[in-house]
């Protein structure tokens, strides 16, 4: 039973990492108010409030960054949002986000075929956990 728990933990999607890599550089993440990335002690970019994910959304073997925001209340606010910053060598300061909206169990506003990580087992498990926490 202990082995199964370890295997599940190893397959879960890490959230809010303390360090990330992007554009060939390493950054420390400060979560004091927003997810802010620091390089060489300097604030390089703040991505906003939410859950930071370092995960390969594009399927190229390199972790991208994404900010997941979920304030669903089951009444007025019924969507979750994901901003993906593709790690393609663009400097972090200049990287644009691809926006996606989680609606009724699927992603809108995004070409899912360009982001196979959205359908990967770890990310699907992450979204199921989020759905369970926000009925």
pLDDT tens digits, 79-116 = 999 999 999 999 999 999 999 999 888 999 999 999 99
Vertex 18: Cα angle to 79 and 116 (nearest 5):
45
CA–CA gap between residue 132 and residue 108 (Å, rounded): 20
Q: What is the mean pLDDT of the chain?
A: 90
Instruction: Summarize pLDDT for 50-71 with one digit per residue, the tens.
Output: 999 999 999 999 999 999 999 8
Phi and psi dihedrals of 125, rounded to 5? -60, -45
What is the value of pTM for the model shown?
0.88
Distance of alpha carbon 102 from the chain centroid: 13
CA dihedral 81, 86, 90, 91 (to 10 degrees): 50
């Amino acid at each position: 039973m202990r082995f199964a728990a370890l295997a599940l933990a190893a397959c879960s999607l890490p959230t809010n990492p303390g360090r990330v890599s992007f554009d060939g550089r390493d950054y420390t993440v400060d979560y004091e108010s927003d997810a802010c990335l620091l390089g060489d002690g300097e604030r390089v970019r703040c991505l906003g409030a939410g859950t930071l994910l370092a995960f390969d959304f594009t399927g190229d073997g390199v972790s991208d960054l994404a900010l997941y925001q979920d304030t669903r209340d089951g009444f007025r606010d019924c969507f979750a949002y994901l901003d993906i910053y593709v790690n393609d060598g663009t400097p972090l300061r200049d990287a644009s986000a691809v926006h996606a909206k989680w609606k009724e169990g699927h992603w809108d506003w995004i070409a899912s075929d360009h982001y196979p990580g959205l359908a990967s087992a770890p990310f699907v498990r992450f979204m199921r956990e989020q759905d369970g926490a926000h009925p």
